[in-house]
Each structure stands twice: as structure tokens, then as C-alpha cells.
A and B are shown apart, each in its own frame.
Chain A
Amino acid sequence: MPLSDAQARQILDAALAAARRVDAGAESVVTLHGGRQGHTRFGRNEITTAGEVDEVTVTIAIQRARRRAAASTNQTDPASLRATAEAAGRMVQLAPEDPEVLPVLGPQRYAKVEAHDPAVARLSPADRSAAVAQVIALAESAGLQVAGFLGHSETVLAVATSAGLRALHRETRLSFSVTARTPDGTGSGRAAAISHALRDVDPVALGRKAVERAQRSRRPARLEPGRYTVVLEEEAVGDLLAFLTMSLDARSADEGRSFFTRAGGGNRLGERLFPEHITLRADPSNRQTPAAPFDAEGLPLAPLVIIERGVLRTLLYSRFWAQRQGRQPTGEPRVYHLLGGTATPSDLIAGVRRGVLISRLWYLRWLEPQSLLVTGLTRDGVFLIEDGQIAGPVNNFRFNDSPVNMLRNADALSRDTLRTEGTAGHLRVPALRTHDFHLSSISEAI
């Protein structure tokens, strides 16, 4: 059983007391994160591994006279918390002064966020197996092979400081993803969903979608690399957009090492960077994609409008950089939301004379951070669009392009949005149509 809220608070109080005993005159920030996680994994139409883990990590950060150090443990008994506080305390005495250390935060107010679904918290190994067995059965009846992953968690994130700050957030998370492959090895399709709520994740429906996608992608025709109009489905948009959301640091921009740097000095706040229909927000209390409303130090993550109708309205400010620049600190959002438009999925395709539908991207890496140029590959379903219709499956591609071009050249966004997960937080994004997208070479992978 995961910790109750009361147990989590008790551990944090014990950690704060331990820090105080180490150095009564110091400030401290303690965080607790973790909970129960369960998963079932399958491949080649059978369950391969499954597991259950239930544990938390406690971090004790002590700071005194602009010296700061932290120590973490997964042991929550009083003796271990004491030992952890002592380790942090010893390090603080040896640490050089850091002029950027700020006083710990006092009590804060947070937005109310509902991110916990008891139905997800209750899921058992047997529930997981039953869902996976259904997906395997439907793949077998279609003569396909599936691999996938069903994972869920119930976690607590809690923060307390010696200045009286107390924050606690409890959330559930459920993810299911499935990849279906045709026995001849020429077709592959995938479907995935992630949510805090059970109702948003339907393994059987996702299994059907992956199977159907695999069948439709079978025996792809050859299409030459080049610059194409592309319709990017939600997972692909999320994958690429993450390279923009991880580049929003104001300090890097002000220091001259970011896409958001203005030539000649300063940053590009207030500039129109994208078309009118591009709006990017970050709001942990978004009901579809809720997230903890505070960061690891307890700083409130207020709703932000980062790009408003194409104009850069804010970058991300740490407490130190905000103070230095005379701005409000934003912290680092845990969830970004690219607002959808008015199109249906078929509208996106209908407007294309000749282009490519891309389901998903893979192995994205920086090529050139100045222009946010990224490389990566398409995967699990690429289709040629001709005269507003899907003409048939085509080979995979490597692309060399950027989220900046994706947004600049986007002329239609879907009404519905989907939660995806990137390396820099969750994203909720629409599918979109964009132009002049550089599919630079063919990948033979299926």
C-alpha cells in the first residue's frame, strides 16, 4: 500500500527535525516522492515480465550561509533519515559558497488539482494480465504479433521547508502502449494512451487500432526523400515539440545560447515567432492533463501562456534568474498544452494534394540547438496522401527538421488533443498539418 498523506507528512516532519538536529541554524527543504508501481509487459503474443514495487525517495537539502548540499535515501525509518541529514550536513560544511543560493520558501498557495483516480490505484496484477490477454487474443485472431506495456502507479510528491512551507500532491498514472507487427515483417502499427484516469485508457480499443494500423501499413511502397507536406499525428507532434519546451530557459536565452536569444543581446520576448493559431500554455490544473502544482522546492507552478497567438509571452525563470531580471519566477512546468484548432483528422488529410501522414517519431536527438534542429525517424505507419486521400503505405524516413518549422508552417490543427510524454514533462497536443518538412533519407526499418 502506498503511503497515506498523513504518513508522508510524518516522514517529512521527521526529516525536517533530523535536519534541524544536524544544524539548528540552517535552512532545509525536504521532499518525498514515490509510491506503488505495477507493470505487465508482453512480447511475441505472451506476457514476458511483470512486477510490483512500492517505495519512496526522501531528499534532505540543507543550506547555511549560501552553502547548500542534498542527500537522498529510500529508507524512511528515523535512523536512516538522521543519517541522511547528517550526510547533507557534513557536505554543507565543506561546500563552497554559492552566490545563487536563495532562502528556502515559506508557506505558499497552490491551485487545486485532481489527478487521482482510485480505479487506477486499485489495479492488480490479475487486472493487468486480463487486459493484456484480451489484446493478445485479438492480435492472434488477426494473425499478428503484438508487444506492449501496461504500467500504472499511485505516487505522492510532498515538500516541506524549515520556513513552514507544506505541499502535497497525490496522483495516479496509467499507460498502455501496443505495437502490432505483421508476420511477414512488412507492417507495423502502434497505439498508446496515458492518463491519470482509467476511463481514458482502453487497452482493447488501442489494440484494435494498432492491429488495423499494422495491416494497413503492410508492404510499403518506395517514396523518395524530400521536402513534403506532412500530417503529424499527436505522438509525432509531442515528440518534436518536446525539443522546444525543453529550450524555454530564460537564462540561456539571456546568456546568448538559445534559439530564444536575440542577435545583438537579450531574448525574443514579445516577438511574433509563429502563426496566429499557435498557442502554447502550461497549466498543472488542466483537467484533462493534471500535474503537481509545485516544483521540487515547493514553488507554485502557476498557469503560463508561453506562446500566445504566435507571440512569445514568457520564458521559464528560476527563482534566481527571475530576481536578477525583475520577473516572476515560473519554475519548470510539468505539463505543456499546445492548443488544438478546428480540424477533424480527415480534414487534415483532405487538404493535402500530395504529402505524407506520419504516426510516430523515434530516436530524436539534437542536431543543432541554435535553430532547434533535430534529427529522428518515422516509425509504425507512414502513408502517402494524394489528392486528399490516403493512397497507401510508404517506407520510413529519417527527418532533419525543427519544432520551430513545424509550428511556423502549420496551417491546420486538430480539435482533439492527446496526452503524450516527452523528456521534458507531459504534453497535450493536437495532430497537425505542416509544410516543407524535410524527410532527408529513407530508413529500411519496418
Chain B
Amino acid sequence: MWPSRRAFLAAGGAGAALAMEAALRGRLAEARGLLVDSLLAEVTGRALDAARRAGCSYADVRVVRRRSERISARESRIDEIHLREDYGLGVRVLHGGAWGFAATARVLPQEAARVATQAVEVARAGQAALRRPVQLAANPPHVDVWQTPLSKDPFRIPLQDKADLLLAINAEAMKVPGIAFCTSHYAGLSEWKLFRSSEGADIEQSITRVGPGYRVTAVDRRSGEFETRDHDLPPMQAGWEYVVEAPLLRDARRIGEEALEKLRAPSVTPGVRDLVLHPSHLWLTIHESVGHPTELDRALGYEANFAGTSFATPDQLGRLQFAAPLVTLYADKTTPGGLATCGYDDEGVKTQRWDLVRNGLFVAYQTTREQAGWIGEQASRGTSYAQDHRSIPIQRMPNVSLAPGERELGVQDLISATEDGIYIVGHGSFSIDHQRHNFQFGGQMFYEIKKGRIVRTLRDVAYQASTLQFWRSCDLLGGPASWQLHGSLFDGKGEPGQANAVSHGCPPARFRRVNVLSTNRRRG
């Protein structure tokens, strides 16, 4: 008989823990919405029982409630207000060494049993083409509660406050003569989930993310040219307090003025230049050239039909000089505010921090319980994630960050130390090949550096490099005070496609002799 959550706690002699857990769970009552304790117990129990009776060696059930609030404004009007709320459960089973999965929107006991049985059918159908039966790395069945630390639940903030902020931003940006358009947006996202497994895991988590931002467009009617400038504020795992404290409105004029500055700036002359990259830009380069290639399923060929494979193959582990020795890149699903931060992953593994590239050397992958054994590791790194109840958990990127340098340098110090270069702020165009060698990035603002000083703004800049050459050319890092967290709410992977929210922290950094090109084809 598989243990129930309470039986597990009692067996551990954890009376006090049980009381504390009950108190923590009480705090999440609102995040659960319509889902009350007794229903959840019955639903998860029925699903796991059905899997056990069908002879599954393992099963887990996730009950998920997701909410989103999206508001957008165009110039002086609010053009979209959309609330969304989804409930559902997904059952994953291991039967005869094969995975099966099924999901439903109806969180009801009978439906839970039906879906579990359907997942078993799916697993049985897959057994014919099974080569290596799935083996899960051992994992203690945690019983715990986790939630985003926040002071203001964004879903309790009146719509008026959000609409007023967006309209105020637009009005402010459009006070700049020559600014024709401004669109602003806000997204609040809430993910509540309960994970229970046949091994006795019982984990309840509530994750809240907010993503405000805006784009200003400057137009020159005579020439028919235009330029845009996006605010650099990243989405964050946080409450409404993050939005209120952010300098969105304060920056609106500057952002508008910078859009105009870009429109009037000279085009870059292509060539080999040193680059000083601000954290609002560098995070995306880290994401593409470090985050994705160190996903183990990619490296082994499981993603070959879609996202691709990786240059960082297992035979390179502990050998490949990935970057210059001053560079350490680490994975961390515990970073405060990180979009991928949580207490446990979607197969109940406690989240952690570990190095992927240590002092320039490639030392580790991102793994799940199924994948750990593929490279002889005993435990999962805890990177399993499913975007919602209807998606199968797969290996997803944790927050992957660049450690700051030891000396307390700021971006100005990096600029001062540079003879002939370009300083890039904000993220723009991004593209990388399917083995993560050749990449090309744009940005928001580009500044020419001559003899340690910014001399002018440039336009149409992109740089193209190959991953290892680029990271090996890094020779200066900002210090701990210059480190910033940026990120994206929508990183795609898998088939059917799933979105994962992920952050990347970094200091500003300098890279030597990078190939800079011009994207100017306007008069071509």
C-alpha cells in the first residue's frame, strides 16, 4: 500500500511538523480557489490508487490552478483587459518501464481515476517501442509547502491602479516631441500546484510572477523610418510591490528620448570590436549559449527534432574549456526573485544551486530523475517542469547565472578600461543555431566607446560569434554590486511546445574582438 501524506508524517513522528504544515497550507487557501482539502485528498487518492491497481511502478498527480491577468494600453487607451483562470489535473505513470500521461480540466474523483487509467493505456501503447525502460533516481518523498515571498498579492490590487499606471507611462513618454506611439502592458501570473506521488511526496506550492513593460516608437514620416525602444525592466517572481517600486514611470521620458536618439543616430560600421554588455543584455546571451546547451536531454539527442542538440556532449564533461578562467556560470532554482525559483521541481525534487561552468571548465548538466542515471549520477538536479496541468513534465532550464567578479567594478569601470568598443544595453534580436555554436544578438541601445569614453549613440548593431570563442574572450567582469537579475516569462521547449519562466543574473562583462555587423538595409 502506498503511504498517504498523513501516514508518512505520522511515521516520521512529526507532530509539530504536521501542525506547522497545516498552518502553512492554511495560508495558501486563497491560492487554491475552489479546491478544498477534502476534494484534493479524494482526487489525488483516486488517481494514485487507479495507477497502483493497474500495476504501475510509479505514478504522480499534479493538481494545478493557474491564473493570469493581462492588461495592455496603447497611447491614451486601454486596449485589452483579460483575466484567465484554469483548473486541472495531470497524471503521469510508469508502467512496464514506459511513461504514460493524461490530463483533464475536471478536478473530480471519478475523472481522476479515469485519467489515471487513460495514462496507463498510453504507457502500454508505448511499450512496443521501448528500448531502455525508464529508471528514476532515488528521491526522498518530501512533504512541504512553498510560496513566493511577497507583500502585495497582485491579484488583489484594483484594476484601476494597473490601468492608471499604464496610461500614465504612455502619456509621459508621448510628451517627448517626435514620439508617436507607446504601448505598455502588465501581466500577473499565479501558479498554484499540489504534487502527490506514489512514493508519498506531498508538496503544495504557490508561485506569483509579474511582468510589466512598455515600448516607445519614434517615427520620421518624411523618410518613412522608425525606431523602437523597450524598457529594460525584467519580469520577476514577486508581488505588486515590485511593479510599484520599479522606475517605469520615472524612466518614460528617457526611454522616449532614447527612441528618438536611435532614429537620428549613425549606423554602425561593421568590424571587429570589443563589447561591454550590460546585464539587461547579457542575460539573454547566457540563456541561449549556456542555459540551453547544458540541458542533458538536448545533449543526448532527445530534442533533435525540435530545439536541436548541443555541442556540450557528455564526453566533454570535466574537459571542455567552455570559457575564460574568470568565468563561473551556475544553475540555481533558489535565487530570490528568479522566475524559475521554487521549493521543489515538478517531480518533487528539492531545488538547489550547482555550477555548470566552474572557472571556465564545463562541469555539469541540468537533469531530472529519469536523466540522472544517463550520465551515472545518483540524484536529479531538480529541473523538471510542466507549464500547466495538461503538459508532461520535461527537463526545463533553471535560473542560470554568471557569478560576479571579486573586484567591485561597475559598468563605468569596464567602459573606462576599453579602447575601442561598443556598449550594449537591453535585449533585441536573438538567434542561435541548433547545436548552440553560432549566435547573433542585437540590443536596445548601442554606444560607441573610444579611449575609455562613450562618444556617441549608434544604430543597427548586431554581433555574431561562436559560443566557445565568445566566452573564452571574456576578460572583465563587474563586481557583486553590479550583478542584476533579468529574465523571460516564455522560454519554449518540447513538443508539444511548453513555456518556462526563467531568470539569469549577471554583472556587466567585457568580451574581446567580437564580429559586429550592421543591420541597416533601409536604403538598400
Contacts and interface: CB of A to CB of B under 8 A. Distances in A.
A255 B438 contact: no
A68 B429 contact: no
Among A91, A128, A264, chain B packs the most CB atoms within 10 A around the CB of: A91
Nearest to A42: B129
Among A46, A126, A363, chain B packs the most CB atoms within 10 A around the CB of: A363
A94 B158 contact: yes
Interface in A205-260: 255-257
Interface stretch (B236-244, B300-308, B332-340): B300-308
B100 to A, nearest CB: 7
Contact of A43 (B80, B302, B524): B302
B104 A55 contact: yes
Interface in A38-52: 39-52
Pairs A-B, 7 closest by C-beta atoms: A263-B224, A445-B435, A43-B302, A125-B125, A51-B101, A55-B105, A147-B304
A113 interface: no
B269 interface: no
Contacts of A186: none
Contacts of B87: 74-75
B143 interface: no
Interface in B288-321: 297, 300-306, 308-309, 311
A99 B80 CA distance: 13
Interface in B56-88: 77-88
Interface stretch (B5-13, B199-207, B215-223, B273-281): B215-223
Contacts of B520: 368
A233 B223 CA distance: 36
Contacts, number: 254
B466 interface: yes
B496 interface: yes
A335 to B, nearest CB: 20
Given A95-B81, A95-B159, A370-B226, A126 B125 contact: yes
A186 to B, nearest CB: 12
B506 interface: no
A177 B305 contact: yes
Interface string A314-340: 000000000000000000000000000
A: contact size bracket: 35 or more
A124 B125 contact: yes
Given A44-B302, A94-B160, A53 B102 contact: yes
Interface of A: 37, 39-57, 59, 68-75, 84, 87-88, 91, 94-100, 124-126, 128-130, 132-133, 136, 145, 147-149, 151, 177-179, 181, 188, 190, 255-257, 261-265, 362-368, 370-371, 373, 375-377, 379, 396, 398, 400, 402, 440-446
B495 A373 contact: no
A98 B78 contact: yes
A96 B167 contact: yes
A445 B434 contact: yes
B405 interface: no
Interface in B426-468: 429-438, 440, 442, 460, 462, 464, 466
Given A46-B131, A366-B429, A444 B438 contact: yes
Interface residues of B, number: 88
Given A72-B83, A257-B180, A446-B435, 7 more contacts: A43-B305, A56-B105, A72-B85, A73-B85, A74-B105, A97-B77, A444-B466
Interface in B103-118: 103-106, 118
A257 B462 CA distance: 21
A377 B129 contact: no
A367 to B, nearest CB: 4
Contacts of A48: 99, 302
B438 A41 contact: no
Contacts of A367: 429, 442, 462, 519
B433 A398 contact: yes
Nearest to A130: B128
B53 interface: no
A365 B301 contact: no
A48 B393 CA distance: 12
Contacts of A54: 104
B368 to A, nearest CB: 12
Contacts of A371: 521-522, 524
Given A71-B82, A96-B167, A133-B128, A379 B434 contact: yes
Nearest to B125: A125
B23 interface: no
A365 B430 CA distance: 6
A75 B65 CA distance: 11
B301 A44 contact: yes
Nearest to A88: B83
Given A50-B101, A73-B85, A96-B77, A445 B437 contact: yes
A128 B466 CA distance: 39
Query: Chain B interface secondary structure, helix, strand, loop or mixed?
Result: mixed
A98 B159 contact: no
Contacts of B88: 55, 74
Nearest to B101: A51
A261 B224 contact: yes
Given A50-B122, A94-B159, A70 B82 contact: yes
A261 B180 CA distance: 15
Contacts of B160: 94
Contacts of A445: 308, 311, 433-438
Given A263-B223, A365-B431, A377-B433, A72 B84 contact: yes
A440 B226 CA distance: 25
A441 B431 contact: no
A46 B98 CA distance: 10
B86 A398 contact: no
Nearest to A43: B302
B437 A255 contact: no
Contacts of A256: 180, 219-221, 224, 226
Contacts of A364: 431
18 contacts: A59-B82, A69-B82, A75-B87, A94-B160, A95-B78, A98-B77, A125-B122, A145-B304, A147-B304, A178-B305, A256-B220, A256-B221, A264-B221, A368-B460, A377-B433, A398-B433, A441-B438, A445-B308
Given A51-B392, A72-B83, A365-B431, A151 B495 contact: yes
Given A50-B126, A368-B521, A376 B85 contact: no
Contacts of B390: 53, 55
B301 A181 contact: yes
B125 A50 contact: yes
Contact of A255 (B77, B181, B222): B181
Contacts of B24: none
A91 B301 contact: no
Given A367-B462, A443-B433, A43 B125 contact: no
A73 B84 contact: yes
B96 to A, nearest CB: 12
B128 A375 contact: no
Contacts of B79: 98, 100
Contact of A398 (B123, B180, B297, B464): B464
Contacts of A95: 78, 81, 159, 163
Given A50-B122, A371-B524, A129 B129 contact: yes
Contacts of B442: 367
Contacts of B77: 96-100
A84 B34 CA distance: 13
Interface string B8-49: 000000000000000000000000000000000000000000
A96 B163 CA distance: 8
A147 B102 contact: no
Contacts of B118: 52
Contact of B438 (A94, A147, A377): A377
Given A74-B86, A444-B435, A52 B130 contact: no
A275 to B, nearest CB: 18
Interface string B384-411: 0000001010100000000000000000
Contacts of B305: 43, 147-149, 177-179, 190
